[in-house]
Chain A
Amino acid sequence: MKFALAVYGAPANSQAPQSALHFARALVAQGHEIVRLFFYQDGVNTATAIAQPPQDESNLSEEWQQFVQAHNLDAVVCIAAALRRGIVDQAESDRYELPGHNLRKGYELSGLGQLLDGALMADRFITFGA
């Protein structure tokens, strides 16, 4: 079955990214297809490369990135939500003349249309952190 997953909560203040990762791993283990991951609202913080949780805690952003890259997933971060919250790639950093960029590799900044498109092409659309 084709699944699209949306994550709306941030690692530091929501269980959403953790629950979504557990669910995504279970999907892959059972042979389902993840046609799109979409990070929206505070969920965009999952894609930051510079959050450093204490060493005795899991680094959820890193775990998510490894999962995305291992399975070559289509992982989209909402560009408007990301810019508002300080998550930018090299291109946006250059465009707004910001002092740096912090979007992890494997993710793409794009518009909300990608969330809609993912939900429409999937058999099941699952939201975490609404």
Chain B
Amino acid sequence: MIEGDEFVQSLQAMGVNFFTGVPDSILGGIIAELMNRGLYIPAVREDEAVGMAAGAYMAGKMPAVLMQNSGLGTSLNTLISLNMIYRQPCILIVSWRGYGGKDAPEHLIMGQVLPQFLDTMTIPYRTLSEKTAKEDFAWVADVYHNRRIPVALLITKGVVKGLHP
């Protein structure tokens, strides 16, 4: 399992220096680590977080937005009519609730359609695994810098240490 601080260090090593989002339990360990370091700027909705990240990007920062996959639905219009149209990149750290059909009912449909949903939105994505973590982070950085659009790193349960091990 990847530790929260290891995850945050990997993002920082890539140059990420602006963190915002809306919490999810799977992301709890990462957010706790970001808060310990005084780096986390909480948003109230995911589209707001994506908007803040876009502003920060234009002001010279490299932003990451943390959210549950349900938040992708909330952010859809901002990701498309701001980030994609204006070519403003953003790293999306998205927890994959409903993965494998095992979760609370509210997560099952989004959990099932998540890859198709991202394909439809033409947002490149990759699912983080402990074994390939180094390549996964390198791939995210590459898409961010070379394509200048949002790129998603999907986090399934148990890959990054949560709040309650």
Co-complex (A, B): no
Residues in chain A within 8 A of chain B (CB atoms): none
Residues in chain B within 8 A of chain A (CB atoms): none
